[in-house]
Structures are given as C-alpha cells and as structure tokens.
Amino acid sequence: MIQLTLIPKAFGNPQRTTRCTMTHLPNFLLQSVVTTVSSWTVLCMILCVQVTLEFSFGDVARFVRHPWCVTECCTDEIWINRSNSSGLQKALKSQLFGQHLVTDHVVAAVEAHLTDKDPERPLVLSFHGRTGTGKNYVARMIAESIYKKGMNSKYVHHYAANKHFAHEKRLDEYKSLLRSEVAAYTYSCPYQLFIFDEIEDMPEGLLDSLKPFIDYNVHLDNVDYRKAIFIFLSNTAAMEITQKTYSHLSAGGNREKITLQEMEEVIEKTAYSAKGAFNRSRLIDSYVISHFVPFLPLERQHVRECVRVALRKRSFSRRHMNDAIDQVMDLLQFWPEVSKLFALKGCKNVNEKAALVDHQMRKTEL
C-alpha cells in the first residue's frame, strides 16, 4: 500500500486527523490525486483537517483509465466482472445441494453469454421448482458473481409479483412501466440483470411486454439489449418436476442421470397452460426463453448439508455438529407420508431451525 498524508499548510490543526479511502473522496480531489501521484504532491484544500489517503497501485491504474468511475460504473471491470464464472461455480458447489442440472448448465450458460462479444440476443433463464430448492439463491449468486455490489448494484433489478404487480386491473399500466424501465436501464448500460420473482402470481400477459427486448433484435429504438440477462423464478411445474424425479428414483435411477432435456419438455408444456404470467405467453410460444431450468426436490442428504452450512455460519462447535444436525432435521417435514423422501420446504427455514437448536444447545452447556 502507498500512504499519502495531505496537510494543508495554510490551515489545519495537526492534532485532528481524518482517515479516508479514494472511493470516498470528492471527484475534484480524486482527479488531483491521479494527475499528481507521480510527483507525490497533492494539493488538498480541506479546512482544518489532516487527511490520510491509502490506496494501491491497482487503484491508481484503474482511476487513470476511468477517472469518472468513482462509484459504480458500466465501463469498469471492477464493477462488472464478465469473466467470473469460476466464482459462480465455487459458490454454487459450496452452498447449493442436489441441483446438478443447475451447476452444470446455468454456469455454462452465463459464462457463454458474458464472454460473447456479439451475442444474438439476451440470455433468458427460467427457474422452476418447489419452495426452498435454491431458485432465489442462484439468482443472487449470479448477481454477486457479475456485479461488485451484487443485488445492491444499480444494474440489478428485482421485480416481485406481490410488490410490483399486485393488481390485475392495472395490467396495462404495469406493461407500460415495465417497458419504459427496461429500456431506460439498458440504455444507460447494456449489462443489466432483470430478475422476475413469483411468475405464477403475476398478471397474465405481463411478460409479453418483454418480448421485443429479448427477441432477435440487434437494436430496438437505438438500444442494444443483447448483453442483458433476464431470469424468471417460478413454482410453476414444481409438482411435475417432483413427480418425474420421484418416478425416476423409485425405479432405481440415479438422481444425477436426470437430464435437462427431459425436464425442459415437462416444464415448458406445464408453464404454458398454468395460471400466471406464463399462461399462453408469447415468450414460450415464440421460443425466446433460452433455458427452462428445473430445481429438483431435495432429499434428506441435501438438507443435511444445508443445515451444516447454517450451523457453520453460527460458528457452531464441530464436536457437537452431527448431534445438532440431527436435532434440526427432526424439526423439518418430509414427504410423501410413507417414504419421507423429499423435504416439504426444501432448505427454507433451515436457518431459523438451526438458530433455535444452536441457542438451546448453548444454553444447556451453561
């Protein structure tokens, strides 16, 4: 690290010190630092304050290239990392369990899209499965692998049915607003991520307003949408996915032998006739959804791993780990009634149950 101490000679109380980083300084001072760093002299006109700057050579190089990128910036790879597929792969392998189709195909699809300098159209992913199987988690991990600020990035937009599109009578208003927002966001930066949650609860026809943006249009009204990513999250076809998985396992099949192709067909047919925004949707009958991704129902061994992760986050003692996992598992529900093969809620509520067991066991030790 390089450390520069700036003391205005005309003013100042040497006993008063403020420590700050480059990214928290005003633009005029940042530009002064960048342009004069080679001479080790910086003019700082901050009244009565001694300022200490700490920054690396990498910071200097970055600000020399893009001195305007003090906050989140579309043109800077520090803010938008389009080559971090290994980070996404690592995150999914360490905290997503029982979803080989997701780790195998989603990572590859995202990587292929982000590294394509001239994609034909946006990447459109539709995640389907029961509650607690990891749909929201994977969407969040995609955001965190691409954007430095993750879900808090100004380039990530999360729409939830019950929050943004709660009234069917306002469908036309919602469609107009959605078109305007997608256009405005993408005009400001082509590398946008749009996440639509609870598709089954959105008004029918809403998503049709997105078709012009995700179809094979190089430019639409002088805006290039091809580098954006759209992700749809839905419980639609969850029962069909579960039934197909159950039949496969009951016949002695290996879970990892279930293929994306056989599941996509089931999802596509079910979604097209199901209640919600996918019903008779032009997105489906126009084949503009890149991949229908199934999230399989979770079995006991998968939920145990979720519990293990939750307890580790609480710095739980390894000595009592297996006992604690067993206690948490006893608090969860499994079905069908006879085989108890699948977790009713997947890994949802696992953190709360782990917190309860952790608290009880620590209290017992006192």
Helix (H, G, I), strand (E, B) or coil at 4: strand
Q: In terms of domains, do 291 and 327 share one?
A: no
Q: What is the DSSP letter of 131?
A: T
What pLDDT is attached to residue 316? 87
Give residue 345's domain range. 300-365
Q: Is 71 within the bounds of a domain?
A: no
- Report the distance separating Cα 198 and Cα 277, nearest Å: 9
Determine which of 37-41, 91-95, 253-257, 331-335 has the lowest per-residue pLDDT on average.
37-41
Q: Estimate to the nearest angstrom the gap between the alpha carbon of 362 and the chain centroid.
A: 34
Q: Is 74 within the bounds of a domain?
A: no
pTM of the model: 0.81
Q: In terms of domains, do 314 and 287 share one?
A: no
State the average pLDDT over residues 297-312.
97
Q: In terms of domains, do 307 and 287 share one?
A: no
Asked whether 347 and 132 are in contact (CB, 8 A), the reply is yes
Integer Rg of the chain from CA: 25
Q: Is 114 within the bounds of a domain?
A: yes
Asked whether 125 and 106 are in contact (CB, 8 A), the reply is yes
- Residue 254: count other Cβ atoms within 10 Å of its Cβ: 8
What are the pLDDT digits (tens) for 52-104? 444 454 444 444 445 556 689 998 889 999 988 888 999 999 999 999 999 99
Q: In terms of domains, do 265 and 128 share one?
A: yes
Residue 358 reports pLDDT greater than 60 = yes
What pLDDT is attached to residue 180? 97
- Report the distance separating Cα 247 and Cα 324, nearest Å: 32
Burial class (CB in 10 A: 0-12, 13-18, 19+), 177: middle
What are the pLDDT digits (tens) for 122-165? 999 999 999 999 999 999 999 999 999 999 999 999 999 999 99
CATH number at residue 136: 3.40.50.300
Q: In terms of domains, do 148 and 255 share one?
A: yes
Strand partners, 299: 342
Report percent pLDDT > 90 for the chain: 73
Q: In terms of domains, do 124 and 272 share one?
A: yes
What pLDDT is attached to residue 219? 85
Asked whether 133 and 306 are in contact (CB, 8 A), the reply is no
Strands (E), 289-356: 291-295, 334-335, 342-343
